[in-house]
Structure 1
């Protein structure tokens, strides 16, 4: 199963050249770029681990690509890695662009769990198969 979160998630994986162009677009717009990673890609898990600090003062995509490659070396094949761009201008102050740049070799997907509650009501929730393993050993 392919996780589809963020921009470009329904497209084939971006090449490093395409990633660098997207990062440069963010920099040209004055957005701070940061790199995040996780081994639990649940859609409600919005707080991924931050790789270093957000890069507010970087003027060239090469600096971000260097950090991205360092993150890939540390977590290649085991974690999801995404690039996010934050716009800190007044009245916006939010993520403007976010996209996955690295995926584990195996994406196990999610289970749909059904729970019967009071009356005849039924609740559904999703649980990532990756969460069956302890943190740090999921991939």
Structure 2
């Protein structure tokens, strides 16, 4: 199963040149960029671990790519995403996010069905790698 969250999640993984172009797009709009990572990409887990600080004054995508490379080295088997925040309204609003790193083996969900009394059935899920 491929985790699909954020922009571009149904496309093939972006290469570093494409990531750099997207980060520059974020910066050209005045958005702050951050790098986040997690081992639990559940859709309700919106609070991933932040790598470093948000890059509010960054003007060149190379700075964000350096941070991304450092995060990849420290957490090669984690999900890593790039986030863009807009603070023009006085609070941080997520404008864009996309996954830039995935573990080699993504978790899978397996459905089990158990026959129960009176022809009823119960379903359950378990995670598998």
- When the two structures are superposed, what TM-score results if normalisation uses the length of structure 2? 0.85
Give structure 2 stretches of 5+ with no counterpart: 114-122
1:1-139 to structure 2, matched below 5 A, reads 1-76=1-76, 78-90=77-89, 93-111=92-110, 128-129=127-128
Q: Which has the larger radius of gyration?
A: 2
Q: 1:107 to 1:89 in 2, by over 3 A?
A: same
Report the more deviating stretch, 83-92 or 102-111.
83-92
| Cα deviation 1:6-51 (Å, max 9, x = unaligned) | 0000000001000000000000100000000000111100000000
Q: 1:125 to 1:58 in 2, by over 3 A?
A: farther
| Cα deviation 1:86-125 (Å, max 9, x = unaligned) | 01111774100000000000002234589xxxxxxxxx88
SS in 1 for 2:36: strand
SS in 2 for 1:62: helix
| Cα deviation 1:72-99 (Å, max 9, x = unaligned) | 00111x1000000001111774100000
Give structure 1 stretches of 5+ with no counterpart: 115-123, 131-139
How many equivalent pairs are there? Answer: 122
Runs of 4+ displaced beyond 2 Å: 109-114, 124-130
In 2: Cα distance, 1:109 partner to 1:93 partner: 33
SS in 1 for 2:24: helix
SS in 2 for 1:52: strand
In 2: Cα distance, 1:85 partner to 1:113 partner: 39
1:57, distance to aligned residue in structure 2 (A):
0.7
- When the two structures are superposed, what TM-score results if normalisation uses the length of structure 1? 0.79
